[in-house]
Structure 1
Amino acid sequence: MKMIRFSKYVVLVIILTSVFGCDDAEMKAIDNGLYIQEAAPSNKFDQQMETQLIDEGEVVKTLTIRLVRAIEQDITVTLDIDQQLLDDYNQRNDANYQVLPEEFRSFEKEVTITAGDVSAPVVNLTIKPYTAPNGEAYAIPIRITSVEGPIEMKGNANHMLYLLTSPNKQKAVILQNSNTTQIRFKNEIPVDQWTIEYWLRVDNHNKWDLNGYVGLSNKWLRQYIYHDGSAPILFNQILPRYWADGVAQIAPTLQFHMDNPGFDMDSEEFWWPDIWYHIAYTYDGTQITLYKDGTKNVSKADTREHAFSSMTLAGGSFSYGGYSMQVEFAQIRLWKKCLTPTAIQDGMSRQISGNTDGLIGYWKCDEGSGKVLKDSSPNGNDITLDGTPKWSELYNFAHPND
């Protein structure tokens, strides 16, 4: 009797196994997964974006398609360009990247993970140097589009988005107090939000000894370079101006000032001469924020109406004790929207298109000679400088201080 019952249980197990069972490869696939290794560094499956500088030579990036663990079956994977991935990024970040044209990129689109292996042969993505004559921004969005085999994707690591930067290389305009210039725009431009951004370098052109530059007792030295109240650039009532001392009285500060009603917002101290800085001020309708080299520095609440109708270069107190202040400018941009930190970082080291959405003033300052700074935005507010400006050497704005 017991033998009969035991036999029934054996038969039942055999039946269940035949109905619901699977081979060894399928069993392992239940807790297995496929992913792009470079999209999941240190097994963190949420890092599917990388910024890549493309300068003078080819760049090769690797993509490794792999499994969590090997199975006894071939897995064939197809990779391709994914326009939707890029569209989603542009929408989230208020960006305007385009897919890099095919002649400047190449990669193997089909790879196989051989049975018993955990990864396929490495895919080499080769990116060739390209030009962006109209300030185009390029990217390469790659996604796993199909998988042949009993395996599923692991997390979100089925794609990689490469944001490409081709560095802006240009000469810069050099201004002293003899070049102080104001321009009135052709039309007043009312805005609800705005961004002002530019590259600026304050030169120690008189070759002061900077030993002891920082400190309570050395304002006199700093003031010969960063003159109190000097405003390299200002728009209407918007006046970013330098002071040789900040609150701590140990180094220069950049103060954002407006009148009616009065508003002052001081940056952190420690601005050094002969160093390029990217400076961006944004206004979102409720607060003004300063970004220094793409990183938030300080912000302060404010609500008021704004309209842009004029711009001044080399304004304020641009001389002290018989010495002129000297600054270099590149890539002055005026926007009628509040750029996100990502948008500022994406665009700061490259040229952009003059037709970019929201751009209402764009002075590249890259002419290299003469006294006219062309406005590349649709508004065409070219600037004819007073006096005869100097022009710098060629800078690479991916690393302008090298």
Structure 2
Amino acid sequence: MKKNIIIMLAMILSALSACKKKDVLDIHPDNAVYMGNTSSSGVVSITVTDVGGSAVVTPRLANLADKPVTITVGIGEKTLSNYNQKNNLELQPMAAEDFKFITGNGDTTHGEATVTIPPGSFESSVQIKIDSINTTKYPYSKRLAIPVIIKKVNGYRLLSSPQWTIVQLNRQLRTSIALINNLTGSIELKPKTPYSEPMSEWTFQMSMIYSNLSRSNLTTAFMSSGGGGEFYTRISASNGIQIKNGRDGDDTWTQKALSPNVWLHISYVYKDSKVSVYVNGELQKTFETTPLYLGNTEQSGWSIGNSNYKNNDYIREVRFWNRALTQAEIMDKLYLPQDPATPGLLMYMPFTKEAGLTELTNKWNVTIPSASRISFVDNVIFPASKLEIKQ
């Protein structure tokens, strides 16, 4: 009997100990910590100039707490590797010694930082400060990022998502661009060797500033003599961009208003008989279409613009890829120049003074309409929302 009593007491004490441990672990079952991001992608893009650059990451609480909550953030290279793999990117992490974490109370560290969310508050922020980028260590061909993860939380559970913010670094670029004061027809690009097989997916990109978006039948680009259905586009201030695939109608427009005199980086992404329209990296609309591909004829190719291009329209680049770029890839390639030998890049025409009006993969013939007036503007700065010239 005495032995049985001892065994029962031991079991009760063990159960009480387990309950106590569970209570400690679940001390705040209605609250949790996560990374507060301004977009669902979890990616923040910043520009680093000759005077540096900075960004802010924000650990948050799901609910208010009645006592301080301590959180440690740090570098998550595995997170960046997974992001690269998912989005077909090659972002490289900046070394911890090349940037600083600065907390709200002024503490400066490298590698990781600890902040406290005070009672009655939802969040605390950590500034990421880059003084400069060493171009010898990080040449312009490298695309850089700082992946920040929540590494440790004291006394609270960590939500499974989002746990990270990726700070993508853009570097200021100075280049020349083309000024179109009069286009007497379309700029034609025809492959020197016609495509013998239909393409199951592709991406066509162009970067423009339109001085006026009220002109009728103002086209961005279209597929001439395509092997599939019709692919013709129009652009307007009120209706956005039209994908004309054999018919007109309100539903053939994105219905996303656009502004003149700003850079519009336009991407048409085709896959599985659908075309997704992106402007400045943001999805505008996805359209159901017929199959769309270049035909196996010398007449089939791409046409850019029309005779409605005039009076201070600017063009930066035109690109054509053999695959459907992801949104992350579109953002990554938004304004930086490309290597013509980049895998998957079928056509690359940068419209710079250095390149002239030539296509740099040397796989396309370019025809500029006669009597067109196209010149070049130097010292144009990217990234920028409007035309920015820095002498």
TM-score for both structures, normalised by structure 2 = 0.66
**Matches for 1:178-197 after TM superposition, within 5 Å:** 181-189=187-195, 190=197, 191-197=199-205
Q: What is the match of residue 137 of structure 1?
A: 143
Deviations 1:173-231 (A, max 9, x none): 12222585434333334522111121222235xxxxxxxx9xxxxxxxx4xxx254x54
In structure 2, the CA distance between the partners of 1:157 and 1:379, relative to structure 1 (3 Å rule), is: same
Contact 2:59/2:150 (<8 A) preserved: no
Q: Does 1:289 align with 2:276?
A: yes
Q: Distance in 2 between the 1:112 and 1:292 partners?
A: 38
Q: Distance in 2 between the 1:125 and 1:163 partners?
A: 12
Match among 287, 291, 297 for residue 299 of structure 1? 287
Shift of 1:398: 3.8
Q: What is the match of residue 240 of structure 1?
A: 232
Q: Does 1:161 align with 2:157?
A: no
Q: Does 1:55 align with 2:42?
A: no
Q: What is the match of residue 350 of structure 2?
A: 364
Contact 1:48/1:161 (<8 A) preserved: no
Contact 1:105/1:126 (<8 A) preserved: yes
Shift of 1:99: 1.9
Q: Does 1:98 align with 2:56?
A: no
Deviations 1:306-362 (A, max 9, x none): 3586344444x448xxxx565321132211112234433443344455444422122
In structure 2, the CA distance between the partners of 1:292 and 1:111, relative to structure 1 (3 Å rule), is: closer
Larger Rg: 1
Q: Distance in 1 between the 2:155 and 2:308 partners?
A: 71
Q: Distance in 1 between the 2:162 and 2:189 partners?
A: 51
Q: How many residues align?
A: 351
Contact 1:37/1:64 (<8 A) preserved: yes
In structure 2, the CA distance between the partners of 1:37 and 1:144, relative to structure 1 (3 Å rule), is: closer
Q: Distance in 1 between the 2:239 and 2:22 partners?
A: 67
Contact 1:168/1:398 (<8 A) preserved: no
TM-score for both structures, normalised by structure 1 = 0.64
Q: Distance in 2 between the 1:275 and 1:9 partners?
A: 83
In structure 2, the CA distance between the partners of 1:100 and 1:236, relative to structure 1 (3 Å rule), is: farther
The residue type equivalent to 2:129 in the other structure is: T
Shift of 1:399: 1.7
In structure 2, the CA distance between the partners of 1:11 and 1:235, relative to structure 1 (3 Å rule), is: closer
Shift of 1:396: 3.4
The residue type equivalent to 2:203 in the other structure is: T
Deviations 1:270-308 (A, max 9, x none): 555434323222211322233344232351321254358
Contact 1:76/1:110 (<8 A) preserved: no
Percent identity of equivalent pairs: 15
In structure 2, the CA distance between the partners of 1:236 and 1:198, relative to structure 1 (3 Å rule), is: same
In structure 2, the CA distance between the partners of 1:105 and 1:66, relative to structure 1 (3 Å rule), is: farther
Which ranges in structure 1 are unaligned for 5 or more consecutive residues? 205-212, 214-221, 245-249
Match among 315, 320, 330 for residue 344 of structure 1? 330
Q: Distance in 2 between the 1:382 and 1:96 partners?
A: 31
